[in-house]
Amino acid sequence: MSSLHLSSISPEAQIGQGVKIGPFCVIESDVVVGDRCRLESRVVLRNGTRLGPDNQIFEGAVLGGPPQHVHMPENPGLVIIGAGNVIREHVTIHRPLHASGTTRIGDNNLLMVNAHIAHDCQLGSNMIIANNTMLAGHVEAADRAYISGGVAVHQFCRVGAYAMLGGQAHVVQDVPPYVTVDGLSSCIVGINVVGLRRAGFSSEDILQIKKAYRVIYRSELKWQEILDILRTEFAQGPAALFYSFLAATKRGIVSERRPPGRVSLKLLRPESDQEVEIIPIEELPHRQAAAG
């Protein structure tokens, strides 16, 4: 272990082999730091923090802070962080509300500058969480999810595996696996095909995922009918993840950014502001073409 005298390290903290600690760090007593971790300057590891091996923590990060809650618990649980994570400047990760709970981060994740992971969150592995992202309490995010900058995820929401959330999206319901959420509308705009191809999914797998997606969002079936089809017709392969995810939702799922099949617009006629013309939305392109 290498450290400078300017850091405050409790003698009761458990520090592994090959750990590098920069100046002005604070490591409290009930802390475990795994082998070969690297802490840059001004890192704070509060009581209840457990770091696996090979994590790199950058300047100003605070891990294991007490939960931000109006009823501050006397004995919060643990922050458990896996191996090989990169946690950039000023990231905050908070302890869970109850002593038996955990705030858990998996392996090989990249948490960018100023990301906030609230109490009781459960994050998978190989995720990217970009700058200024805010995950409220009890949020769950699965493996290889990509959460862009400035995204806010409401408490108790879930983000499925391989989902991609666009910048500044406001997520207030569950995001199914494999989908893309548009940052402007905060609605789903299709399958994250680019992410799936980069992850090595075959063309056949992606085709099955697209078919299951159409059942969910474009079949106009009732919810139980959708679940029945997913359970019976997509029981194998990656598309099977849709059923297990949707069957467990408690908040519902984010809607698709598509206009309803039959929509009419009321347009004011120029000769009178009292008269209106009702035309189907599908006729708008023809009207625009005729108008030159």
48, 65, 107, 120: the catalytic one is: 120
90, 119, 138, 166: the catalytic one is: 119
CB-count burial class (<10 Å; 0-12, 13-18, 19+) for 218: exposed
d(CA 9, CA 118): 25
Angle between helices 223-233 and 240-247 (to 10 degrees): 140
d(CA 224, CA 204): 26
Cα-based distances in Å from 84 to 100, 106, 119, 280: 25, 9, 21, 55
Side chain identity at residue 238, one-letter code: P
Question: Catalytic: 190?
Answer: no
22, 65, 137, 149: the catalytic one is: 137
Give the phi and the psi of residue 120 in degrees, each rounded to 5.
Answer: 70, 15
Helix, strand, or coil (residue 253): strand
Residue indicated by tokens 């209840």: 48
Question: Strands 179-181 and 170-171: what pairing?
Answer: unpaired
Long-range pairs of 257-260 with CB within 8 A, sequence gap ≥ 24: 257/182, 257/185, 257/187, 257/188, 257/189, 258/217, 258/218
Question: Catalytic: 119?
Answer: yes
d(CA 147, CA 207): 24
Return the closest-CA partner of residue 58 out of 78, 44, 72: 44
Side chain identity at residue 176, one-letter code: P
Question: Catalytic: 137?
Answer: yes
Supply the residues annotated as catalytic: 119-120, 137
